[in-house]
Chains A and B, each alone.
Chain A
Amino acid sequence: MFSISRKDLVSLVVFSAIVMTMPIWLAPFGAAYPGLMQKFVIYAIFAIGFNILFGLTGYLSFGHAVFIGVGSYTTIWSFKLLTMDILPAMVFAVIVAGLFALAIGYFSLRRTGIYFSILTLAFAQMSYSLAYSVLTPITNGETGLLLARGDPRYIDQIFGAQMNVAGLPQPTLIGNHLGGYGGFYLCAVLLIACFYVSQKIFASPFGMALRGIKSNQTRMNYTGFNTKPYTLAAFVISGMFAGLAGALLSITDPLAGAERMKWTESGNVVLMTILGGVGTLFGPVVGAWLIKYFENIFSAINLNTLNNFFSFLPDGIQSFVVTIMSKFVGEGWHLTLGLLFVVIVVFLPGGLVEGFQRLAARFRRRQTKPDKSPSAQPAE
C-alpha cells in the first residue's frame, strides 16, 4: 500500500540525501544558512504541489499564492488563539487552504485554458485585497499579522504554560523549541514526505487519469471518466500543499502578510515549475531552488564583489567587464533570470530536468554503442 516501484525508491533515497545534505553542498554557493535553506525547502513544497495540478492536468493556475497566504494566516491564528505548538497549526493550515481551494477551484474549473487562468488570477487578486484592506481585523492589513505577548492561547493556558515570560513566544514542536537548523530539518522532512506523496500520485491510476485529462479531455469523457471531480481533486491537493508551505513560512518566521498572496508570487511558482520541468517529479524542486537562489544570492552581488572577482584582468578590461556584468547582477537579477527563462523555454521545452535527461541519454548511448534492439518493428 505504501510501497513504491524500485525506480521511485531510488529517486526518493537520492532526493532525501540531497535535501538532508543541503547545509554541506550549499556552502560553496554561499547559501548554507538556515533562513535561506528553509525558503528553498518551503518553496519546493509549494512547487511540488503546484505541479500536481499544472504538470498532470495541464490546468495553469495563476492564483496559487492565495493558498500560501491562507496557510500563513491560519498558522498565526492557531498560535494566537490555541497553542504555540506547530502540529495543530499545520493541520489547520492545510485544512483551511484545502477549503479555500475547494471554493476557488469549484468556480474556476468551470472553464478551461486561458479563462481558467484568468479566473484563478481574479480570485487571487480579490483575496489579496481582502487580506490587505477589507479584512484588516483578521489579517491586520498592511502591517501583517504578528504574535503578541497578550495573545490568549487557550490550550497553552490549560496546560499551564507560563504566559508572561519575557519576549515573544516561540513556536514549539511538542514542547521543544525549534532553532534555526531545527526549523530547516523540520521543513526538510516535510518536503521529503511531500515528494513521496507526489510520487504516489504520479504512479497511481488517479495520476494516470489526471494525465489523461491533460492529453485528451474528450476521450476521457467518452471513456467514462467524470473529469470535473478529478480536476477539482488535483486543485484541492495542490492547494493543500501550498497551505503547508504557507504554514512553514509562518512557523520559521512567525508573521503573515498580504504580500505573500501577491500575483507575482503566483507567477513565481509557474516560473519555477516551467524552469525545472513541468510534469516531472524533480523539475519543480530544481526550479524552486534556482529561482530562490537567484532572488537571494545573485541579487546580493554588488560592484565590489565583481571587482574582486575580475581583479585578475588588466584594468581597462576589468572595468569594461564589470560594467557589463553589473547590469545582470544585484538589482538586475531579474534580467538574468528572464534570459535564462527564455533560453530554457526555447531550447529545452521540458525544462532543466529534460536537459539532464538528454545529457544522460547521450552519455549512455555513447557507452553502449551499436546494439541493434532485437524487438525491431515487425514487417507490415
Chain B
Amino acid sequence: MIQTEPNIVLHAADVQKNFGGLRALSDVDLQVEEGKTHAIIGPNGAGKSTLLNVIIGRIPPTSGAVVFDGTVLTGKAPHEINQLGISRVFQTPEIFADLSVLQNVMAPAFARRDGAFKINIMRSFDKEYEIRDEAESLLQDIGLVGRSNDHAGSLSRGDKRRLELAMCLIQRPRLLLLDEPTAGMSRHDTNTTIELLKRIKSGGMTKVIIEHDMHVVFSLADKISVLAQGRIIATGLPQQIKEDPRVQEAYLGGSVE
C-alpha cells in the first residue's frame, strides 16, 4: 500500500519504465499537492513525456504505481482515468478536426455530464443551451470568440492548442495535465495563455505542467521537479530550483534566465 499525505492528490510512487534495454524512468517519486501547479522540467529526452504518459495510462509502467486521490490509476483505461477527473492537453493538439469549434468544446461536456456511455437520441445538441452557453463563454475566455462555427481543422496551430485547453477546462477537471501548452505559440499568445492558466488556478484545480519555456514555468509553477536521465534530481520551490547547483549543472547550463 502506498502511503500518501492527505494534501497530496497525485502520487507517482517508485515508477520505473524500461523500453527494451533503455531505462526511461527510474525510481521516480512525484507528489503533487492539491490545488497547486507543479512543473516538470528537464532537458530533451529526460523522460518528461514518458512520465506524463504513465500518469494518464497511455503507457503502463514497468513497476511502481500512480495513485490519484486514493485510486490506483495503473491499468485503467484512458476514459476511466478521465472520468475520475483528469484531463490532458497533448504536445501536438488532439482535437476533432472535422467538427466545428463549438462542438469540439461541447462534446467533452457531455462526457462530464452523461458519463462514459449514453445513448440519448431523443435530445438534440442544439437544444443543450446550458452546455452551449458554457462552451461559448469558455471560447470567449480563451480568445476564440467568433470562430464557433468554423471547422476546428482550419484553425492555426496556436488556436488549436487553445481550443484543446478549452476542451479540457469545460470538464472542470480536478487535475489538468499540460504537455508543453505554449509550444509553437507566439510570445503574445504565450502570455495570453499564461494569464488564462493563472486565472483558472484560483478555481482550485491541480495542474501538472511540462514545459521548456522557463518564462512560462517560473510564471506559473508553485513547485518544480527537475527530471534528468529518467530521475528526479531535485524538487522544490521555484526559488530553490533556480539556486540549486545540481539543476544548473544538469539542465540550465549554468544559470537561470
Contacts and interface: CB of A to CB of B under 8 A. Distances in A.
Given A205-B120, A205-B128, A216-B97, A221 B77 contact: yes
Contact of A223 (B99, B107, B121): B107
Nearest to A380: B188
B243 interface: no
Interface residues of A, number: 37
A201 B123 CA distance: 9
Interface stretch (A1-9, A27-35, A139-147): A1-9
A351 interface: no
Interface in B142-177: 145-146, 167, 171
A219 interface: yes
Nearest to A234: B119
Given A4-B124, A208-B103, A216 B94 contact: yes
B95 A216 contact: yes
A229 B117 contact: yes
Nearest to B164: A219
Given A209-B110, A222-B88, A224-B171, A204 B82 contact: no
A2 B121 CA distance: 10
B122 A204 contact: yes
A204 B125 contact: yes
B171 A200 contact: no
Contacts of B88: 222
Interface of B: 56, 77-79, 82-83, 87-88, 90, 94-99, 103, 106-108, 110-112, 114-126, 128, 145-146, 167, 171, 188
Nearest to B83: A224
A206 interface: yes
Nearest to A6: B126
A195 to B, nearest CB: 14
A221 B88 CA distance: 11
Nearest to A203: B124
Contact of A224 (B56, B103, B108, B126): B108
A218 B58 CA distance: 10
A206 B116 contact: no
A215 B94 CA distance: 10
Given A224-B116, A225-B79, A375-B146, 10 more contacts: A2-B122, A204-B121, A205-B120, A216-B94, A222-B79, A222-B87, A223-B82, A226-B77, A378-B145, A378-B146
Most chain B CB neighbours (cut-off 10 Å) among A4, A197, A205 = A205
A266 to B, nearest CB: 26
A183 interface: no
Given A224-B82, A225-B79, A206 B97 contact: no
B136 to A, nearest CB: 14
B99 A206 contact: no
A214 interface: yes
A226 B79 contact: yes
Given A204-B120, A215-B98, A5 B126 contact: yes
Contact of B107 (A2, A5, A209): A209
29 contacts: A3-B124, A4-B124, A203-B126, A204-B120, A204-B121, A204-B122, A204-B124, A204-B125, A205-B120, A206-B118, A206-B119, A206-B120, A206-B121, A207-B121, A209-B110, A214-B98, A215-B96, A215-B97, A216-B96, A221-B82, A223-B82, A223-B107, A223-B167, A224-B111, A224-B116, A225-B116, A227-B79, A378-B146, A380-B188
A205 B114 CA distance: 10
Contacts of B121: 197, 200-201, 204, 206-207
Most chain B CB neighbours (cut-off 10 Å) among A1, A214, A221 = A221
A143 to B, nearest CB: 40
Contacts of B82: 221-224
Nearest to B167: A223
Contacts of B90: 222
Contacts of B167: 219, 223
A334 to B, nearest CB: 33
A295 to B, nearest CB: 32
Contacts of B146: 375, 377-378
Nearest to B188: A380
